[in-house]
Amino acid sequence: MKRSQIIFLLFGVVLIVVLFSLPMVVVENNEEEGMAVEEGDLGSTFSDPQHNSSLTPEAKEAITRLKGEMEVEEDKEKFATFADSTARVFAESGKLDSAAYYYGLAADNVPNLSNLERAGNAYYEAFGFAMDEGKTSRLASKTRAYLNKVLEEDPSRLDLKTKVAMTYVSSANPMQGITMLRDILEQEPTNEEALFNMGVLSMQTGQYKRAAERFEDLVKHHPDNIQGQFYLGVSYFESNQKNKAKKHFEALRQLTEDEQILTGVENYLERL
């Protein structure tokens, strides 16, 4: 996650301090109006997002050169190589939607599993930071289009299935995503991403006891997941398990040096 890859929640001042301190990239898509994205459509339905005004001179020069190569290149393999290189420049500059667009072009021209996965992951990352509802929906749809192609060939990729599930959770049909996450946990009860996201979703709906159970499972099998550790303490606090919350937050002090997480911990401890 993303993510992840991960979609976070905001719970009061403490979580605002913690979560908004995480690396954020504003997604600015100059997409063509009225351009619907159909499931399974891997065509280039987005116009080229332009971020040139905020790129370094070196990045601008590299992108101009690579786009020039693409304009005259007829060989699909070489075109995909140039598109991939362009995407990497945008990704290094933190321009997630532009990176996704060019990774998508590479996958469209050479649709092997590696390219499809790279494009799907890039769109998922951009999806995770998009603020506008319409953009979020279109980025989610593109994520599913590419990642589902990989899942058709390799259904065992539960990491990718988790990402697809999360794109549905924020859609008009959230139960489809929740059902997918439950299916993942039936196949792999210790799946880190699925446990984390199910815990977050339980928090979102105010089911803090259930959230605590999810996060307990998460940190039992993945103790290094510090965000999960923090949310477990929050879930204890919000479900009125104050003794557990205090003990957990005190222990969490020893598990991380992240200043923002520790600030959140101290704020909760002051409230106990």
Domains 1-26+166-272 and 31-154 equal at CATH topology level:
yes
204-224: average pLDDT? 96
Q: What pLDDT is stored for residue 52 in this prediction? A: 54
Instruction: State the average pLDDT for the chain.
Output: 84
Query: Which one has a higher pLDDT value, 207 or 170?
Result: 207
Cα maximum dimension of the chain: 67
- Domain limits, the chain: 1-26+166-272, 31-154
Which of the pair, 42 or 242, is modelled with greater confidence? 242
CATH of 31-154, one of 3.40.50, 1.25.40, 1.10.246, 3.30.200: 1.25.40
The percent of residues in the chain predicted with pLDDT above 70, rounded, is 81
Superfamily designation of domain 1-26+166-272:
Tetratricopeptide repeat domain (1.25.40.10)
Q: What is the pLDDT of residue 172?
A: 81
Give the DSSP letter string of the chain.
-EEEE------HHHHHHHHTTS--------PPTT----TT--S--S-----GGGS-HHHHHHHHHHHHHHHH---HHHHHHHHHHHHHHHHHTT-HHHHHHHHHHHHHHS--HHHHHHHHHHHHHHHHH--SHHHHHHHHHHHHHHHHHHHHH-TT-HHHHHHHHHHHHTSS-HHHHHHHHHHHHHH-TT-HHHHHHHHHHHHHTT-HHHHHHHHHHHHHH-TT-HHHHHHHHHHHHHTT-HHHHHHHHHHHTTT---HHHHHHHHHHHHH-
Res. 174 pLDDT band, cuts 50 70 90: confident
pTM across the whole model:
0.77
> What pLDDT band is residue 6 in, cutting at 50, 70 and 90?
very low
Q: pLDDT class for 48, splitting at 50, 70, 90? A: low
pLDDT over threshold 60, residue 132: yes
